[in-house]
């Protein structure tokens, strides 16, 4: 049990009930640790002995082309898919045995689906608060704080489909943090929004990271990768490179992560094309 994070669930909080260990962060500040993590589907090895550590409060980019194993790796980390072999802990919980505890200690925001379009802003917040076992009072308080923070009080009763896309994305992010998870997974969080909204969104992520929340960003848009503290590039199920964007650019003598990525992924893409066009 660690005490240095304010988001540690109180004893008796429903979301930790049944968890074998009520810890949300390891004492050494590691949010996610994976060792030789592997997943096969029949004869196909989607994730091939990957090892890495993500620190608490880090904005970590998980990069890869479609079919590189990124989605499989993430699905194992969020407790949706059991690994074939290897070890991993997420927020201190084991990915084989403690998947329920993992799910209640992480947040997830997908670019495609996060909120219910025909529910109002407030109804969406209440729904997700309920799913995460927050009390009515917690939901009321957090709804109020969330709307005030985003400056969108006056659309509380507006259907989500009618609010601008940029607001929707910020709302989706805040809803993903509603139950105060220690780790939040973001899938292509800023694709398609205008550049100012996009930066406001990164500021929300940085602010959350500054308060100690770990953000794992999966994307195949390399300019999103430039905003991460560290990135990991997956190619053909393995980790082809890992480091800060500056380190990777220096290592590959490239001007951008896009260029780094193309250099790493090009040979695999060519092999895949020769073999029949890939799967993704």
Site of interaction with other proteins (CB under 8 A): 65-67, 155, 158, 162-167, 191-197, 199-200, 202-203, 206-207, 209-210, 220-223, 226-227, 244-246, 258, 261-262, 265-266, 269, 272-274, 276-280
55/103 with CB nearer other proteins: 55
What one-character DSSP code corresponds to residue 15?
G
Using CA of residue 182, residue 88, residue 128, residue 152, what is the dihedral sign? positive
Nearest 5°: the CA angle 115, 59, 48 is 90
84/238 with CB nearer other proteins: 238
CB of 262 to other proteins, least distance (A): 5
Place of tokens 């895949």: 272
19/265 with CB nearer other proteins: 265
CB of 191 to other proteins, least distance (A): 7
The residue among 26, 38, 31, 52 whose CA lies nearest residue 231 is 52
CB of 257 to other proteins, least distance (A): 8
Distance between CA atoms of 69 and 58, rounded to whole angstroms? Answer: 22
CB of 117 to other proteins, least distance (A): 12
Distance between CA atoms of 126 and 8, rounded to whole angstroms? Answer: 22
CB of 22 to other proteins, least distance (A): 29
What one-character DSSP code corresponds to residue 234?
E
127/159 with CB nearer other proteins: 159
Distance between CA atoms of 97 and 20, rounded to whole angstroms? Answer: 9
Distance between CA atoms of 81 and 136, rounded to whole angstroms? Answer: 32
The token pair that represents 146 in the structure block: 């969330």
Count the neighbouring beta carbons within 10 Å of the beta carbon of residue 143: 20
- Contact predicate 206/29, CB 8 Å: no
97/266 with CB nearer other proteins: 266
36/223 with CB nearer other proteins: 223
88/225 with CB nearer other proteins: 225
CB of 140 to other proteins, least distance (A): 24
Distance between CA atoms of 38 and 50, rounded to whole angstroms? Answer: 7
CB of 246 to other proteins, least distance (A): 6
């Amino acid at each position: 049990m660690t005490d240095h994070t304010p988001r540690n669930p109180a004893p008796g909080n429903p979301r930790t009930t049944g968890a074998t260990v009520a810890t949300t962060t390891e004492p050494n500040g590691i949010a996610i640790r994976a060792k030789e993590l592997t997943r096969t589907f029949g004869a196909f090895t989607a994730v091939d002995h990957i090892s890495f550590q993500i620190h608490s409060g880090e904005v970590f980019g998980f990069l890869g082309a479609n079919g590189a194993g990124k989605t499989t790796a993430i699905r194992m980390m969020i407790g949706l898919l059991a690994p074939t072999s290897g070890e991993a802990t997420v927020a201190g919980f084991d990915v084989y045995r403690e998947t329920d505890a993992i799910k209640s200690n992480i947040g997830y925001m997908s670019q495609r689906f996060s909120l219910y379009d025909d529910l109002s802003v407030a109804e969406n917040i209440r729904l997700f608060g309920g799913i995460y076992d927050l009390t009515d009072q917690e939901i009321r308080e957090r709804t109020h704080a969330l709307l005030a923070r985003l400056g969108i009080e006056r659309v509380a009763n507006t259907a989500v489909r009618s609010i601008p896309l940029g607001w929707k994305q910020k709302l989706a992010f805040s809803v993903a943090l509603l139950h105060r998870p220690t780790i939040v997974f973001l899938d292509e969080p800023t694709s398609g929004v205008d550049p100012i909204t996009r930066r406001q969104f990164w500021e929300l992520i940085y602010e959350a990271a500054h308060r100690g929340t770990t953000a794992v960003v999966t994307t195949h848009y390399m300019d999103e990768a430039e905003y991460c503290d560290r990135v990991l590039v997956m190619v053909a199920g393995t980790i082809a490179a890992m480091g800060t964007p500056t380190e990777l650019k220096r290592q590959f003598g490239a001007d951008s992560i896009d260029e780094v990525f193309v250099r790493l992924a090009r040979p695999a893409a060519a092999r895949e094309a020769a073999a029949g066009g890939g799967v993704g």
